[in-house]
Amino acid sequence: MIKVLIVEDDPMVAALNRQFVEQIDSFMVCGAVSDTDKAKEFLSETDIDLILLDIHMPGMNGIEFLGWIREQQQDLDVILITAASEMEQIQRALRLGAADYLIKPFEFSRFQEALLQYKNNYHKIHDKSRVNQQELDRLLQRKNTPGTEPTNLRALPKGLTKNTLQTINEVILSMEPATFSTDELAKAVNISRVSVRKYLKFLTEIGYLDENLIYGVGRPIYQYQLNKEGSQRLYSYL
């Protein structure tokens, strides 16, 4: 279980973040505090794996607190969840090793993506004592220089586009954990059933979705649901 501390001075936002975390398997909220002084006190008494950290708070701000964590060589990770969208703040956070940076307001699908990616990397790091270069590149989400294609990016089947796939994926994540049909997804994404069926076929083939044939009144209907064990298989195509 990945233990989470929420550091957020707005009680409503803290409650929402807790609710989001509790919807995702393998994560447990161990506490929520309203400022960095209380966070320091909490960390002195409780082992934490991940902090969901705001930037603008009374006293020490989130970036300064992240710097303090690195100075203390604390063995934990931080995801910034904040309304601060200035590039300078974002660059400082990333240089200090933030695992991700979410700008308020955001959709649950983006929050879920951040935590699922973190969980995937967390287990890879903790389950192995050594990795090869390819595994390390995936962990670091290594990006090539502009104008070059990432070496670990896979080509989509003919007729599928990255932009449409990203849109469909966002809708699927927003529906999770509910099942859905081809018609329901086509209506939500606002593209034709024929096009949606091509993407569903692809997502089922790579193990990202589970497909089940449901028998009832009238013709059988295929129902789809996100396969949590295969949820990382899509990233190499995006």
* Residue 127 in this model has a pLDDT that exceeds 60: no
**Alpha-carbon gap, residue 237 to 162, rounded angstroms:** 8
Q: Tell me 235's DSSP state.
A: G
Angle of the 11-22 helix axis to the 108-127 helix axis, nearest 10: 60
CATH number of 162-237: 1.10.10.10
End-to-end CA distance of the chain: 28
Residue that has been written with the tokens 């050594």 in this structure = 130
- Could you report the per-residue pLDDT of 109-122, keeping only the tens digit for each? 889 888 988 887 77
Summarize pLDDT for 37-91 with one digit per residue, the tens: 999 999 999 999 999 999 998 889 999 999 999 999 888 999 999 888 888 888 8
- pTM flag (> 0.85): no
Chain-centre distance for alpha carbon 54? 17
Q: What is the pLDDT of residues 203-232, one digit of tens each?
A: 998 888 988 888 766 678 889 998 876 666
Specify whether the CB–CB gap between 104 and 81 falls below 8 A: yes
Q: Where are the domains of the chain?
A: 2-127, 162-237
**CATH for the 2-127 domain, from 3.40.50.2300, 3.30.230.70, 3.30.1360.120, 3.40.630.30:** 3.40.50.2300
Q: Is 215 in a helix, a strand, or coil?
A: coil
Query: Is residue 175 pLDDT above 50, yes or no?
Result: yes
